[in-house]
Structure 1
Amino acid sequence: MKLLLTILMDRRILWMLLIVNAIGTMYGYYWYKSQLEITPLIFIPFVPDSPTASLFFVFVLMAFIQNKNSPIFEAFACVTLVKYGIWAVVMNILTLNVTGVLPWQGYMLIASHGAMALQAVLYAPFYQLKIKHVLAAAVWTFHNDVIDYVFMQYPKYPGLELYVREIGYFTFWLSIISVGIAYYAARRNRDTIHIQ
């Protein structure tokens, strides 16, 4: 475990992850381009879920590279990377199950979003987030669920329109689980690892 933690904080690994996440963030915003063009201005900050999650983690990595912590971004990244990482994996698998077809981009999204959730958990021992930071991330996340499934601004997946209620319900519980993981990280890390 100690070796893994040392590897994760190696500056070469941090820089590699920063570059990969920055590129993924830019691609993610591009992926949402057509939906953002028809989205009312007031909802735009809450529509591109996954790239915003990876953007939060970009700020976390930038702090780590400088041997610092950014607890508010750590909380937002932890909650949203886990939530939207798992969510996209499930939605793409569901798309394949419902339609019988998944383009290559869908498989790429499964791999990249699975990695999003994984990196959030792997770096959890280094977070210095507090309960107040987790609460702020929780408010953002549940508000985002309202925007997505009350105001119907959720990410559009072909073939899944008939299952919007079930997806909304799944997303609500996924938000609770993701906030719970961040809460656990905040409680567990109070007296453990600090970046020096």
Structure 2
Amino acid sequence: MGSAPGTGPRTESTSLPRWAAPLPDAVEDLGLRLVWLVVALNLGGTAFGFWFYRHQFAETPLVMWPFVPDSPVATLLAAAAFALWALGRANEYVTVLAFFGNLIFGLWTPWVLMVFAETSIANSGLAMHTFLVVSHLGMVVQALVLHRISEFRLPAVAVATAWYTLNLGTDYFFPVVGPEFPGGFLPVKPHHTWIPVPRDAVVAGSTTAFQVAALGAVSATILALFLSMSIRLLKLRSNWSRS
């Protein structure tokens, strides 16, 4: 379909139910009209994110670097997804990866920061704490716009599921390489994004901070998979009803 120069292929509001596409149409439309501003904001957030992770990069073996900057990679994917769409070259794989990454880490980060808010504010200050919470919730918002520029086809969902399952596994479940033994593949503690408190700190009963963080990550990953498959099925049903 035609479009104005630089605005991407025209995309109409879909008829997805509100639980699958909770943003008002006006918000989705605004985001797509201001697509290059959205791209610029994501690139700025990506640059800030890599700077923010500089200390963790310094303490992490090089082989594990792809698993460190979760949020900056997600915003970089979002920038790429929106830019490719605006240029008329939308890519299913990039868009669905962006959907997963922005939804998962846009939810996980506020979850961890709010659960451990007192320590987070003490460590980073109220301004940085608030900025991190709000900016990551913004990632959720943009993730929920991506159904407008993607069909969420099964191969793309499969790739995104595989990558973020691997990411989840290396963060919380499968020891690979850790700072205790940076020279080799040994059965050390799982590598994962830093959290505001020691990961073995007891939160309630025998539940540790590490387990609380893992709960948020697992729940967000399941939600991303559920929504992506639901959107795909709903789009297929809509297409069938029109044919």
1:39-58 matched pairs, under 5 angstroms: 39-58=60-79
1:27-176 matched pairs, under 5 angstroms: 27-97=48-118, 101=122, 103=125, 104-150=127-173, 151=175, 152-161=190-199, 162=201, 163-176=209-222
Residue 180 of structure 1: how far off its partner (Å): 1.3
Residue 100 of structure 1: how far off its partner (Å): 6.9
Which amino acid in the other structure matches residue 47 of structure 1? V
* TM-score, normalisation: structure 1: 0.88
CA deviation vs aligned residue, 1:1-60 (integer Å, no higher than 9, x gap): 9562543332xx001000000000111111111001111122110111001111111110
* TM-score, normalisation: structure 2: 0.72
Give the aligned CA root-mean-square deviation in angstroms. Answer: 2.0
Residue 86 of structure 1: how far off its partner (Å): 0.4
Q: 1:169 to 1:59 in 2, by over 3 A?
A: same
Q: 1:158 to 1:98 in 2, by over 3 A?
A: closer
Q: What stretches of structure 1 of length at least 5 have no aligned partner?
A: none
The size of the alignment, in residue pairs, is: 190
Residue 160 of structure 1: how far off its partner (Å): 4.9
SS in structure 2 of the partner of residue 9 of structure 1: helix
2:44 is equivalent to residue 23 of structure 1 = yes
Residue among 185, 189, 192 paired with 2:231 = 185
Between structure 1 and structure 2, the one with the greater Rg is 2
CA contact (8 A) 1:125 1:189 kept: no
CA contact (8 A) 1:57 1:74 kept: yes
Deviates more, 1:94-103 or 1:71-80: 94-103
Residue 124 of structure 1: how far off its partner (Å): 1.6
Q: How far apart, CA to CA, are the structure 2 residues paired with 1:114 and 1:15?
A: 20
CA deviation vs aligned residue, 1:122-180 (integer Å, no higher than 9, x gap): 23222123011111101111100111113332221222522102321331122111121
Q: How far apart, CA to CA, are the structure 2 residues paired with 1:109 and 1:28?
A: 10
* % identical equivalent positions: 19
Deviates more, 1:78-87 or 1:172-181: 172-181
Q: How far apart, CA to CA, are the structure 1 residues paired with 2:90 and 2:53?
A: 30
Q: Which of the pair is proportionally richer in helix?
A: 1
